[in-house]
């Protein structure tokens, strides 16, 4: 966070370190659901592979697969190097992922990882 001339604290933009932690967390993944906009985009892009994992429904498909089949990591996550990952569907990933930031990424000490 930074102080403005008026002395008020201004919120800075979150900085994702691309550590991949949130994309390798069962709980976080269970919250991912496609919205209607995601659905339209993936249908037009013929991305059935994404629809398979993130269909649009009230209950996450990841959860409905059953506890034994819950994903430990997102299938679209790729490890680039130690502690540094990339989303292989970044340009069309679920919109819910675009708005997700962890506490660490909101820290004023966060430094971009790329």
Residues 6 or more apart in contact with residue 64 via CB below 8 angstroms: 57
Candidate residues 22, 38, 60, 62; the one interacting with ligand SF4 per rule CB under 6 A: 22
34 part of the interface to ligand SF4, by CB under 6 A: no
With CB under 6 A as the contact rule, which of the stretches 1-9, 37-45, 57-65, 71-79 interacts with ligand SF4? Answer: 71-79
Shortest distance in whole angstroms from residue 111 CB to ligand SF4? 11
Q: Centre a 10 Å sphere on the Cβ of residue 42 and count the other Cβ atoms it contains.
A: 21
17 part of the interface to ligand SF4, by CB under 6 A: yes
Q: What are phi and psi of 81, to 5 degrees?
A: -160, 180
Contact 49, 59 (CB under 8 A): no
Q: Can you tell me the distance from the alpha carbon of 29 to that of 52, in angstroms, rounded to the nearest whole number? A: 14
60 part of the interface to ligand SF4, by CB under 6 A: no
Cβ distance to ligand SF4 smaller for residue 64 or 84: 84
Tell how far CA 81 is from the center of its chain.
Answer: 19
Dihedral of the alpha carbons of 12, 17, 23, 27, in degrees to the nearest 10? -50
Candidate residues 23, 33, 34, 38; the one interacting with ligand SF4 per rule CB under 6 A: 23
Residues near ligand SF4 (CB under 6 A): 16-23, 32, 74, 76-77, 87, 89, 93-94, 97, 101-102, 104-105
């Amino acid at each position: 966070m930074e102080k403005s001339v008026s002395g008020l604290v201004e919120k800075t933009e979150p900085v994702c370190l691309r550590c991949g932690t949130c994309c390798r967390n069962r709980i976080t993944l269970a919250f991912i659901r496609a919205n209607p906009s995601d659905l339209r985009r993936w249908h037009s892009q013929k991305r059935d592979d994404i629809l398979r994992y993130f269909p649009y429904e009230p209950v996450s498909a990841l959860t409905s697969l059953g506890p034994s089949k819950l994903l430990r990591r997102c299938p679209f996550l790729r490890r680039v190097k130690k502690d540094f990952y990339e989303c292989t569907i970044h340009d069309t990933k679920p919109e819910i992922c675009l708005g997700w930031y962890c506490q660490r990424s909101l820290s004023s000490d966060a430094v971009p990882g790329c």
